[in-house]
Structure 1
Amino acid sequence: MADKHRIRFEPVDIEMDVEEDETILDAAFRQGVHLMHGCREGQCSACKSYVLDGEIDMDRYSTFALNDAEAADGYVLLCRSHAYSDCEIELLNFDEGELLNGIPIQQVRTTVTAIEPMTRDIVSLRLAAPGYEFKPGQYADLTIPGTDEHRSFSMATTMSTPGELEFLIKKYPGGKFSGLLDGGLAVGDEIDLTGPYGSFTLKEGHVLPVVCIGGGAGMAPILSLLRSMSETGVRRPVRFYYGARTAEDLFYLDEIAALGATLPDFEFVACLSAVDSATTGVQLGNVTDVVGRREPSIAKCETYLCGPPPMVDAALAFLQANQVPLDQIFYDKFTSPAHQ
């Protein structure tokens, strides 16, 4: 059995145990402590924290998430961190209302109920998952059948359809999971699911306008948020900017329009990067360029980002340049072998 140590988090006055062979973030999940996190792979910096005292070593991580100078100064990524003594850690990014109120991590065996192409490279995968609970905007790990590997995907649904989940999955050449969507999976097959993860959720009591920036399969958590806002009668202004290459890469337009009609102040903006000026009804250019042209008061909004890592990185740089406070930015940035 691995040695066990005590972790104390400041400034929230929470303590928990962690074993040396598990990351601090995984230990928190196990004990119902909902720390801020994103990719859980050392790629996004959402769980960046500061070591006040104690001995911590980290697994491999991206220097884009934590640069060498930060690591030398004592900053760590909790999803990569192993404790080798009792430690005191300062949380830099946390939601005090959710720290001890997150939904516990669950392991569920699901059954495939539908596989439907949405575009040339995005597929809707529907699963029956009895008893599974999550918050709109969160994601889960789906195990690749026949292996111990998993891939992370956001739920596009809400708890209004209990036990019924939808995932929007982008197909990559040679993708171990996405490749199964072309005949390797069938209705009735079983897939193990672990989750929910992520902090890409609407915060109760917040009143700022919402700006969603998505691309590719990043449609899923934003669609979940929109469905939730429609179901719960949220009154906040909402703008949804979705980036794609061509009009053939757009999907769920009718549902987005229907959801928008139930919200008091909603606008959907399709941003196409590979079309000419003759195309009508869309904005031309990369999604962040379009947001820059249309959202002069972005610093007074809450922003939700999800899509391919280059899009999320560009959006984060744009938001930083426009002085959007960090506590108004929420994002999930998944990495696949195609991106790494």
Structure 2
Amino acid sequence: MGDKHRISFEPVGVEIEVTEDEKILDAAFRQGVHLMHGCREGQCSACKSYVLEGDLQMERYSTFACNDAEVEEGYLLLCRAHAYSDCTIELLNFDEDELLNSAPLQEIATEVAEIVPHTRDIVGLRLRTASPLQYKAGQYAELTIPGTEDCRSFSMATTPSTEDHVEFLIKKYPGGRFSALLEDGLAVGDSLLLRGPYGNFTLKKGHVLPLVLMAGGAGMAPVLSLLRHLAETADPRRIRFYYGARTAADLFCLDEIRTLGERLADFGFVVALSESADGAGELGVAVEPGMVTDVVEAREPELHRAEVYLCGPPPMVDAALDLATRQGVPEDQVFYDKFTTSVSDDQ
């Protein structure tokens, strides 16, 4: 373990202690400070901050997230940064409500309870937990690959009300290490170590604006978690959920979404199929041809008057963010979780 140093975060007046061998973001989680973050692998810019004072160095990161000119100017990614002196860092993005009021980081032993193939490339994984996991709907956790120290991050589809288990909806990637386990390697009764929660893709307390939810692929998981929570709390707001897929064969969880919608005061669900709508008429849901962002643009002319939650593969999220910008949605009304693959393998 390296020397210890103090990190002061401005303008929030929060301090943490960090050792030289741990990344600043990890040290913050360990001490119950919930900084803004996304991929935690240096591929997004959610944790980008500015160095006011101190000696810091970064591990490998994507220049898309923080380019060379920004690094020269003093910007860094907290998920990649190590401190070698006491430092003062300016947070560019932070949520004061979440900062010191999020669930603490936990390590929990789990046991595989069920593995269910939903589509050709989406698998449901239900884990029985040794003790209840404290988290908020929409957050994610790390699962350790058995026999290694490597982890993969997956969003939880459940809510904290299901205290005895957590459920994940996982996209299989060809050649992916965790994907291979889902094909042949994990079985009911096997043990997995879970660490979490992470993520800021959560419903904000006291907000009253209508909700527009957009998802694609395994982005169904955190949105389903949000919907389950909204139904549990009988949220009275207008809620619209748009899910993008290629074909009708790529759709899943439709029955539960309909059931959840019946428990909400003003709910609508629309599926956007980008390649083929064959067979969609038998699904019993509203179906539109095209990309999900195009469908939202046509159906939501007042998008700027809503809170927008986006989750899915990067191209979908990027297109949705562009749509939000064009429609004049204020930045503080847009929340997103961009699913990326690990720098070395699949997510």
TM over 0.5: yes
Number of residue-to-residue matches in the alignment: 340
Q: Indicate the SS of the match to 2:244.
A: strand
Counterpart in the other structure of 1:66:
66
Aligned amino acid, residue 145 of structure 1: P
5+ residue gaps in structure 1?
none
What's the CA shift for 1:58? 1.5
TM-score relative to the length of structure 2: 0.93
5+ residue gaps in structure 2?
none
Counterpart in the other structure of 1:286:
291
1:17 maps onto 2:17 in alignment: yes
Equivalent of residue 324 in structure 2, options 316, 319, 334: 319
Show CA shifts across 1:154-180 (max 9, x none): 110011210211100111111111111
Distance 1:289 1:63 in 2: 30
What's the CA shift for 1:99? 1.0
Distance 1:2 1:163 in 2: 38
1:201 maps onto 2:206 in alignment: no
1:335 maps onto 2:347 in alignment: no
Distance 1:335 1:328, change over 3 A: same
Distance 2:221 2:275 in 1: 22
Identity %: 66
Distance 1:254 1:129, change over 3 A: same
Q: Indicate the SS of the match to 1:97.
A: helix
| Contact 2:122–2:171 under 8 Å retained in 1 | yes
Counterpart in the other structure of 2:141:
140
Distance 1:241 1:101 in 2: 30
1:300 maps onto 2:301 in alignment: no
Q: Indicate the SS of the match to 1:282.
A: strand
What's the CA shift for 1:9? 1.0
What's the CA shift for 1:325? 2.5
Distance 2:243 2:333 in 1: 19
Show CA shifts across 1:253-302 (max 9, x none): 11101111111111111011001599654111111121122222222221
| Contact 2:137–2:225 under 8 Å retained in 1 | yes
> Larger deviation: 299-308 or 201-210?
299-308
Aligned amino acid, residue 254 of structure 1: D
Counterpart in the other structure of 1:6:
6
Counterpart in the other structure of 2:112:
112
| Contact 1:143–1:149 under 8 Å retained in 2 | yes
* Cα RMSD, aligned residues only: 1.7
Counterpart in the other structure of 2:246:
245
Distance 1:297 1:317 in 2: 15
| Contact 1:58–1:82 under 8 Å retained in 2 | yes
Superposition pairs of residues 172-211 of structure 1, within 5 angstroms: 172-211=173-212
TM-score relative to the length of structure 1: 0.95
Distance 1:303 1:157, change over 3 A: same
Distance 1:98 1:123, change over 3 A: same
Aligned amino acid, residue 10 of structure 1: E
What's the CA shift for 1:250? 0.6
Distance 1:339 1:123, change over 3 A: closer
Q: Indicate the SS of the match to 1:305.
A: strand
Distance 1:323 1:18, change over 3 A: farther
| Contact 1:126–1:166 under 8 Å retained in 2 | yes
Distance 1:259 1:200, change over 3 A: same
Counterpart in the other structure of 1:130:
130
Q: Indicate the SS of the match to 1:256.
A: helix
| Contact 1:152–1:334 under 8 Å retained in 2 | no
What's the CA shift for 1:71? 2.4
